[in-house]
Amino acid sequence: MSGDHFKGAGSVEQARFHALARIWPALYVALVGDMLAVALVHAASAPWWACFILPGVLVPKALIWAVRWYRKRNIIPSDEDCTKALRFLGWEIGAWIAVIVGWEAYISQWGNTETLVVLMLCMAGQMVFILFGLLQLRGASLVSGAFCALGLMYLGSTIGSLQGALAIAAVLTFGFAGLALIARAYFSDFSSLVSSRLTLEAKAQEIQALSEKNFALANTDALTDIGNRRSCFHDLEKALETSARTGRPLAFGILDLDGFKAVNDSNGHVVGDRLLHAMAARVRTTLGSRGHVYRLGGDEFAFIIVGEDAPEYLLQIGNDLIASVHSPIQVGELRLLLGGSIGFASCPRNADNAEDLYDRADYALFHAKRTGRLKTVVFDEEHERSVRQTALIERSLRSADLEAEFFLTFQPIVDSHQDRTMLLECLARWQSPTLGFVSPGQFIVVAEQSGFISTLTPVLLEKALRAAKQWPEEVGISFNLSGHDIVAPEKVLNLIAILMRSGISPRRVEFEVTETAIMMNLDQALANLHLLKNTGARISLDDFGTGYSSLSQIQKLPLDKIKVDGSFVRDLESNEASRKIVSSVSALSRDLALACVVEGVETREQLDILQGIGCSLIQGYFYSKPMREADVGAFLDQQDVTRELARAART
């Protein structure tokens, strides 16, 4: 029997009911056919009432019940209802067969040899129908089959031959027993098949439930209880397919929390985890029904917004989210304040596949962070041109002859009290044969984003060290390292090897790192900076005050110097707050026994203010713009001449 005969059954009882409901209407029709055949062959010899009264009662009833059972073929009642229905059917069919067999035996008295043959065939057919049609009612089928067998024996006894009667009795006895055993075996197989099927279905349901649970776990961020990166890109692919089919736009956004890493490193991962969980709840509540939120990893979240891609609408969502993120949040006894930047891109306006859409949203995020945090940027045509330019620059970088195309310029860091150059900062420049002169603001950003900066840095360091050999021993170099350069030990060891081979004293070399670079991986950066420091080289923290590091983190660094970002100097003459910030940083550096360099100094007024608050190490256009290597010697000589003239004037 096929599995469809008990499809949907949840127990053996239900499977028995379902099987009977499918086959019993046909058995009704077969029994009705037998009764009509018997009545018709006896119509000429038997009284009309003996032929047609019983069929006239049972046939309509049988047809009605056949229709009722046919309608139940796709209905699965409860176990209790199935048991009741099967029990009732067992009694009913037993009584019906007893009546039919009795009627057939009774009507045989008006028959002849031909009608007797018909009667025996009909009764034998009934026995087979009952034994195999009622497999699911073993008791009823055996009793009903026995009635048929007894009826056949009675008919056999009327043929007038003892031997014939005995032969019929023997055949019927063994035949009935054999058929009963076969029917029993079929029923046993049926029950086993149903039990196996139900067991397999139960296992399948368990597996399905486990699969769904695993799917949920695999697609849910355990920390924040929102969708994870995998879930995000799965849903994004589906949303893009729907968008392509329906024409409805969608937008994809990325939120990066500003300042989270500093909080996490300062207060521990427990506080950081609780903060992320609270921020995820905040973001989800703020976004509401406007979209779905996911955690990409770390402190990055993503959004999928379906049906809207208007820049004004996305900017409003972004501003709402940033306002929510930037509100103070209580974590235990700590009152914390974070910032956030968001980038949006949309389909089909900016991209039509998940990878490009993500890249453009990420570019918009990068632009938001670079141009002033706490803002939302929606990717537009200008950004698209920039992306293409970035791709062009990256391709050109990777195919460039680094030794031939790249060169260094040098800007002095001057002790303003002595008018003496202490260091020359090495600044990379690129003259591409295909692109022409490429701004450092362009190619350095691209090199860092693509990771190519780690290939470029060793080449530039060798150039810087070769140049330093031409200068007086007291003049050192300041060389910039990116975050990619200081997070991998093998890269730092390569830089140390270059330094050792150069013949330049490590004490003449200062490595500059930014807060942002260090915060990429504070622990690894700290270990690698110690490696550099152990060579005798010095470490300088560039752009101090523009990142999100804390004083406790800075205190851990093996620093020799702090460089104050030029943004604090630009309005030094008119802005009291800027003067106080620079003064505070200068005092902090003295307290920490660190040197302090102020960048971006352009005027005598700025220099006078800085000297007044105790800043003597100055870098900026006031002393010199970045100069080519060939011009450094003349600049240093001119400084010597100026100092000699000043000394002579004093004497």
Question: Are residue 233 and residue 298 in the same domain, yes or no?
Answer: yes
- 11 with 94, same domain: the answer is yes
Prior bond of 348 cis (ω within 30°): yes
Model confidence band, residue 463 (pLDDT cutoffs 50, 70, 90): very high
Strand 627-628 relative to strand 617-619, pairing:
unpaired
**Alpha-carbon distance 614 to 599, whole Å?**
15
Residue 639 lies in a domain: no
7-46 pLDDT, tens digit per residue, is 555 566 677 776 776 676 777 777 778 888 888 888 888 8
In a domain, 388, yes or no: no
Gyration radius of the chain's alpha carbons: 47
Say whether 502 sits in a helix, a strand or coil: helix
- Look-up: residue for tokens 């009327």? 158
How wide is the angle at C-alpha 222 spanned by C-alphas 219 and 225, nearest 5°? 80
Residue where the block lists tokens 């019929």: 168
At residue 494, the pLDDT reads 96
Give the percent of the chain with pLDDT over 70. Answer: 86
Q: Does 196 share its domain with 233?
A: no
- Write out pLDDT tens, residues 594-651: 999 999 999 999 999 999 999 999 999 999 999 999 999 999 999 988 888 878 777 6
Q: For residue 188, name the pLDDT band (cuts at 50, 70, 90).
A: low
The encoded tokens of residue 135 equal 């497999």
Question: pLDDT band at residue 555, thresholds of 50, 70 and 90?
Answer: confident
Confidence of residue 535 (pLDDT cuts 50, 70, 90): very high
Give yes or no for a contact between 210 and 221, defined as CB atoms under 8 angstroms apart: no
In a domain, 220, yes or no: no
Between 207-221, 389-403, 528-542, the lowest mean confidence (pLDDT) is in 207-221
What is the rounded distance in angstroms from the CA atom of residue 45 to the CA atom of residue 112?
A: 9
The answer to whether 517 touches 483, Cβ cutoff 8 Å, is yes
Q: Would you say how long the chain is, in residues?
A: 651
194 and 233: one domain? no
For residue 528, the enclosing domain spans 423-628
Alpha helices by DSSP H, 469-595: 483-486, 489-502, 515-519, 522-534, 551-556, 576-591
For the cut 70, the answer to whether the pLDDT of residue 99 exceeds it is yes
- A 10 A CB-CB count for 284 gives 18
Interatomic CA distance for residues 88 and 56, integer angstroms: 23
Is residue 61 a contact partner of residue 99, using CB atoms and an 8 Å limit? no
Residues 72 and 183 in one domain: yes
pLDDT digits 0-9 by tens, 601-612? 999 999 999 999
Q: How confident is the model at residue 156 (pLDDT cuts 50, 70, 90)?
A: confident
Joined tokens for residue 181: 């055993």
If asked whether residues 255 and 118 sit together in one domain, one would say no
For residue 267, what are its two tokens? Answer: 């207060």
649 part of a folded domain: no
Residue of higher predicted confidence among 556 and 225: 225
Most confident option among 41-50, 59-68, 480-489, 520-529: 480-489
For residue 520, pLDDT beyond 80: no
**207 within a domain of the structure (yes/no):** no
Of 182, 201, 220, which closes a domain?
A: 201
| Residue 349 and residue 235 share a domain | yes
What DSSP line would sit under 409-459, residue for residue? EEEEEEETTTTEEEEEEEEEEEEETTTEEE-HHHHHHHHHHHTTHHHHHHH
Q: Are residues 429 and 361 in the same domain?
A: no
User: Burial level of 371, CB count in 10 A (0-12/13-18/19+)?
Assistant: exposed
Q: Is 305 or 190 the better-scoring residue by pLDDT?
A: 305
pLDDT of residue 4: 47
Contact call for residues 337 and 281 (beta carbons, < 8 A): no
Among 379, 403, 438, identify where a domain stops: 379
Separation between Cα atoms, residue 44 and residue 115, nearest integer Å:
11
As given in the structure block, the two tokens for residue 479 are 């060389």
Report pLDDT for 413: 97
Q: What is the pLDDT of residue 159?
A: 64
Q: Is residue 109 very low, low, confident or very high in pLDDT (cuts 50, 70, 90)?
A: confident
Is the per-residue pLDDT at 205 higher than 90?
no
- Same domain for 308 and 265, yes or no, is yes
Please report which confidence band the pLDDT of residue 152 belongs to, taking 50, 70 and 90 as the band edges: confident
Number of CB atoms found within 10 A of residue 474's CB: 9
pTM, two decimals, is: 0.62
Q: What is the pLDDT of residues 416-452, one digit of tens each?
A: 999 999 999 999 999 999 999 999 999 998 999 888 9
> If you average pLDDT over residues 181-193, what whole number do you get?
63
pLDDT digits (tens, 9 = 90+) for 332-389: 888 888 999 999 999 999 998 999 999 999 999 998 988 877 899 999 999 999 889 9
* Statement: residue 191 has pLDDT above 70: no
Write the CB contacts of 415 (distance below 8 Å, at least 6 apart in sequence): 421, 422, 616, 617
Both 362 and 480 in one domain: the answer is no
Residue 163's pLDDT band, with cuts at 50, 70 and 90, is low
Considering the domain architecture, whether residues 160 and 265 belong to the same structural domain is answered as: no
Beta bridge partners of 255: 301, 342
Looking at every residue in the chain, the average pLDDT score rounds to 85
Q: Give, as one character, the DSSP assignment of residue 506.
A: G
Does 619 lie in the same domain as 490? Answer: yes
The three state secondary structure string of 227-279 is: ECHHHHHHHHHHHHHHHHHHCCCEEEEEEEEECHHHHHHHHCHHHHHHHHHHH
DSSP per position, 353-375: SHHHHHHHHHHHHHHHHHT-SS-
Q: Poorest-confidence range of 240-249, 462-471, 533-542, 568-577?
A: 568-577
Q: Which of 404, 402, 405, 424 is nearest to 414 (CA)?
A: 424
Task: Categorise residue 268: left if φ over 0, alpha if ψ from -120 to 50, beta otherwise.
Answer: left
What CATH number does the domain containing 500 carry?
3.20.20.450
- Cβ atoms of residues 603 and 574 within 8 Å: no
Q: Which helix (H) or strand (E) holds 567?
A: none
Q: What is the pLDDT of residue 178?
A: 62
1 band by pLDDT with thresholds 50, 70 and 90:
very low
What tokens appear for 177 in the block? 């027993």
Task: Give the list of residues 6+ apart from residue 382 with CB closer than 8 angstroms, or none.
Answer: none
pLDDT value for 552: 62
- Is residue 411 assigned to a domain? no
Which of 201, 221, 237 delimits the end of a domain?
201
Residues 387, 383, 448, CA angle at the centre, nearest 5°?
45
> Tokens 């979240």 correspond to what residue?
301
Domain count, the chain: 3
pLDDT tens profile 471-504: 999 999 999 999 899 988 999 999 999 999 999 9
β-pairing, 561-564 vs 300-306, is unpaired
Q: 64-78, 158-172, 266-280, 302-316 — which one is most confidently predicted on average?
A: 302-316
Residue 406 lies in a domain: no
Q: What is the band of 3 on the pLDDT scale with cuts at 50, 70, 90?
A: very low
Q: Which of 306, 301, 292, 308 is nearest to 340 (CA)?
A: 301
**How large is the average pLDDT for residues 167-185?**
61
Mean pLDDT for 568-576 is 88
Alpha-carbon distance values, 278 to 171, 271, 319 (Å): 85, 11, 19
